[in-house]
Structure 1
Amino acid sequence: MEPKIRGAICMNAHPKGCAEETRRQIRWTQDYFSHHKASKKLERVLVIGASTGYGLASRIAAAFGYGAATIGVSFEKEPSEKRPATPGWYNTRTFDEEAKKAGIPALSFNGDAFSNEMRAKVGDALKSLGGPADLVIYSLASGVRTDPADGTLYRSALKPLGEVYKAKSVDFINGRLGEVEIAPATEEERRATVKVMGGEDWRLWIDYLGAQGLLAPDVKTVAYSYIGPEVTHAVYREGTIGSAKKDLEETAKGLNKELSASGGGAYVSVNKAVVTRASAVIPVVSLYISLLFKVMKQKGVHEGCIEQMVRLFSQRLYGSNEAMPVDTEGRIRIDDWEMREDIQKEVSSLWEKVDDENIDELADLAGYREDFLKIHGFSVPGVDYDAEVDFLNI
């Protein structure tokens, strides 16, 4: 079985590779907390968007670092005898098996996280686990959302606002540089993107759980975001996605005001750029990440999803400080190493120099490709890729 890649999308997933990569993150977490004692025990943690990337890493950190019973919500295609599942299906099954071995309660739901029906299922699950959630992670990455209020389907758009966007990009498979040109979004596309990726659904989840008495008095809830460098702002921070993320931040401020009255809090965590199924399709980002990886690895501060989330938990959410360390906008900045002045200065310099002749020297395209393949279960050490594959099992 080999990866089937079309553009920036891998069309298949290797069951055993996905399983082994999930186990690697679990082992890394267990090893970290064998040397760094967790500051507290978490009882119950809900992760909405729990099957890949930062969501999966958050669930692993909560369960195998803080001993929490976890509930994970995701939407993944199941396998058939002829076709593999999407990567998150195998990741989730592996997580459930490893949690069971470790005696850690874990309940996983595969379905529409935007629906009222899923909220009700999760509410019942929390009750079955014995009480309210100590932590709610919101890590959905979806291109579509059906509004539960009226059934309207919204589709997000990855576009700039106001002007045509032109910039360098790279085909990370063949290593060829090119220029992307993206027409600006309409106002309708911008509003739809906010509907899908903004804070409305996060608010619905917290309001529902609160009304059901399923939020601990000191509950923390965190949604994930990204800001990044100036070179990506037009298509990201100042584009349609940026409008959605700003809405997410405004939602956090409102939720924080409400939850802080009883000792809780709501935050947006701005995370580091990593290779995910979502980030791989954003023009320009693959080139920026490849250059960033080169610099951060040279400086010894490179992190993947699990390293980022363990640092978020241990040094921010449940660190030694009584007050949550946030920036002037109330955001947690776990992208602090990425956005260091010296690192950004070097990346900017490389951006100006990179071309088809020197890209392998200046950028870590090999590392980018490896991470891209790993999130689909390929290029994972210890997996026999010549063996027959059973799509139904891991």
Structure 2
Amino acid sequence: MVIKPKIRGFICTNAHPVGCAKSVENQINYVKSQNVKAKAEIEGPKNVLVIGCSTGYGLASRITSAFGFGAKTLGICFEKEPSERKTGTAGWYNTAAFHEQAKAEGLYAETMNGDAFSDEIKKAAIKKIKKDLGQVDLIIYSLASPRRTDPDTGEVYKSTLKPVGQGYTTKTYDTDKDKVHDITLEPANQDEIDQTVKVMGGEDWERWMVMLNEAGVVSENAKTTAYTYIGKELTWPIYGQATIGLAKEDLDRAATAIIDKLKGKNVSANVSSLKALVTQASSAIPVMPLYISLIYKVMKEEGTHEGCIEQIEGLFTSCLYAKAPATDDMNRYHMEGKETNDATQAKIKALWDKVTQDNFHELSDYAGYHHEFLNLFGFDIQGVDYEADVNPVVDWS
């Protein structure tokens, strides 16, 4: 079939297998070009578990581990398989492409497709690690989901994107209607806050680490990190000082708990704060399409723009595998400084104050935002013939 993007709201409901494969190839080539083993100050990972491995920062982490350090990788994701009549998800095709590239280079790569919040997947992953790897020395936690079923109670929790304390009115950009307008968000109630923390906080990360440790599959001096975005003034009301921000703060609690519960293994657990990028998760958050369009404009002009793979390659070489990595008072790693420094933020704030419906496309880099949005699903990637007839059915063998 000839596959064209089908966009509905903030998501694309289909994906292009050849485009996704090309995107994965491009990221692999970037990592290979960086000679990360030489840049890292200490020995890199050997056996890596990536929880949320199929898109965005999780995929970039798996690529960096495998093609930068030669690590064996076990991935966990929750993706939809294609059929003869319907494409699979982008994550499905990304994973298939990763497997193909890894196999070609003799790298171990296995992936489990299922609900990472469930104990069934955790137990299956432990069994696989025992059989194939023995132990893991790096555990990446990179999940983004709107809901979570509690494995103890069976209760389903749903996340909410709302401010906390009081309502908030700000600018946003409606990608469907190509319209800059004001949006008013009502404050979350306590139940909405609690449910969001249950879904997006650190409880599941901590559960993974405890179960892995109790099963004896975490190596001495292992490392684990969970990804977050903290942002600055323009995004704090909807991100940092909001339901999602409180959930992300719970990652700090979990990191401390993991260190304490696994102290016999001398495990390091850090939250890693990364820059704002176009991802399937960020596209759903009010304000973020407008904010990201503006930061792309400023950072490209400054020559500081980075994508997922550049951020993660830097995280591995300057933080995870550095001799004395810098952390803040909450023991977090920070890779977002090129975005959040005062000078860059002042430029973004100036554009934010000026931007209107009439000048949005002039003042922003929405073209760049939309290009990267399409890239998430394998579209608008150089070197791909989008008029060609392609088979949507691709497997992970």
| The two structures share one fold, judged by TM-score above 0.5 | yes
Q: Distance in 1 between matches of 2:185 and 2:245?
A: 16
Deviations 1:300-338 (A, max 9, x none): 11100000000000011002x3x3310112111111111
- Quote the offset at 1:355 in angstroms: 1.3
Q: Distance in 2 between matches of 1:76 and 1:372?
A: 18
1:297 matches 2:303: no
Within a 5 Å distance, the mapping from 1:205-354 to structure 2 comes to: 205-259=208-262, 262-319=265-322, 321=323, 323-354=324-355
- Quote the offset at 1:41 in angstroms: 3.9
- Quote the offset at 1:264 in angstroms: 2.5
Deviations 1:108-156 (A, max 9, x none): 0100101111011111111122321110000000011111101111111
Indicate the SS of the match to 2:325: coil
- Quote the offset at 1:162 in angstroms: 2.4
1:21 corresponds to which residue? Answer: 23
Q: Distance in 2 between matches of 1:85 and 1:358?
A: 37
2:11 corresponds to which residue? Answer: 9
Within a 5 Å distance, the mapping from 1:178-217 to structure 2 comes to: 178-217=181-220
2:154 corresponds to which residue? Answer: 151
Contact 2:52–2:143, Cα closer than 8 Å, also in 1? yes
Contact 2:44–2:321, Cα closer than 8 Å, also in 1? no
Q: Distance in 2 between matches of 1:373 and 1:236?
A: 24
1:71 matches 2:74: yes
AA matched with 2:387: D
- Quote the offset at 1:384 in angstroms: 0.5
AA matched with 1:183: E
Contact 1:256–1:267, Cα closer than 8 Å, also in 2? no
1:363 corresponds to which residue? Answer: 364
TM-score (norm 2): 0.95
Cα pair distance change 1:54/1:3, threshold 3 Å: same
AA matched with 1:253: T
Q: What value does the CA root-mean-square deviation take over the aligned residues?
A: 1.5
Contact 2:135–2:218, Cα closer than 8 Å, also in 1? yes
Q: Distance in 1 between matches of 2:257 and 2:207?
A: 13
Q: Distance in 2 between matches of 1:93 and 1:133?
A: 22
AA matched with 2:216: G
Q: Distance in 2 between matches of 1:90 and 1:117?
A: 24
Deviations 1:81-130 (A, max 9, x none): 11111110000111011111111101101001011110111111111223
Q: Distance in 2 between matches of 1:112 and 1:356?
A: 41
1:59 matches 2:62: yes
Contact 2:37–2:69, Cα closer than 8 Å, also in 1? no
- Which ranges in structure 2 are unaligned for 5 or more consecutive residues? none
Within a 5 Å distance, the mapping from 1:34-183 to structure 2 comes to: 36-38=38-40, 39-172=42-175, 175-183=178-186
Q: Distance in 1 between matches of 2:225 and 2:263?
A: 13
AA matched with 1:371: E
Contact 1:172–1:368, Cα closer than 8 Å, also in 2? no
- Quote the offset at 1:256 in angstroms: 2.6
Q: Distance in 1 between matches of 2:28 and 2:177?
A: 32
- Which ranges in structure 1 are unaligned for 5 or more consecutive residues? none
Q: Distance in 1 between matches of 2:366 and 2:329?
A: 35
Contact 1:175–1:365, Cα closer than 8 Å, also in 2? no
1:385 corresponds to which residue? Answer: 386
Indicate the SS of the match to 1:308: helix
- Quote the offset at 1:262 in angstroms: 4.0
Contact 1:76–1:110, Cα closer than 8 Å, also in 2? yes
Contact 1:175–1:359, Cα closer than 8 Å, also in 2? no
Q: Distance in 2 between matches of 1:200 and 1:34?
A: 32
Q: Distance in 2 between matches of 1:341 and 1:326?
A: 19
Q: Distance in 1 between matches of 2:369 and 2:44?
A: 35
Q: Distance in 2 between matches of 1:359 and 1:140?
A: 32
Q: Distance in 2 between matches of 1:144 and 1:366?
A: 31
- Quote the offset at 1:240 in angstroms: 0.9
Percent pairwise identity? 47
AA matched with 2:363: L
Q: Distance in 2 between matches of 1:123 and 1:258?
A: 18
Contact 2:210–2:258, Cα closer than 8 Å, also in 1? no
Q: Distance in 1 between matches of 2:189 and 2:44?
A: 47
Contact 2:210–2:261, Cα closer than 8 Å, also in 1? no
Indicate the SS of the match to 2:234: helix
Q: Distance in 2 between matches of 1:89 and 1:154?
A: 25
Indicate the SS of the match to 2:97: helix
Q: Name segments (4+ residues, structure 1) moved above 3 Å.
A: 34-39, 172-175, 257-263
Q: Which moved more, 1:115-124 or 1:156-165?
A: 156-165
Paired positions, count:
392
- Quote the offset at 1:37 in angstroms: 4.8
Q: Distance in 2 between matches of 1:343 and 1:41?
A: 33
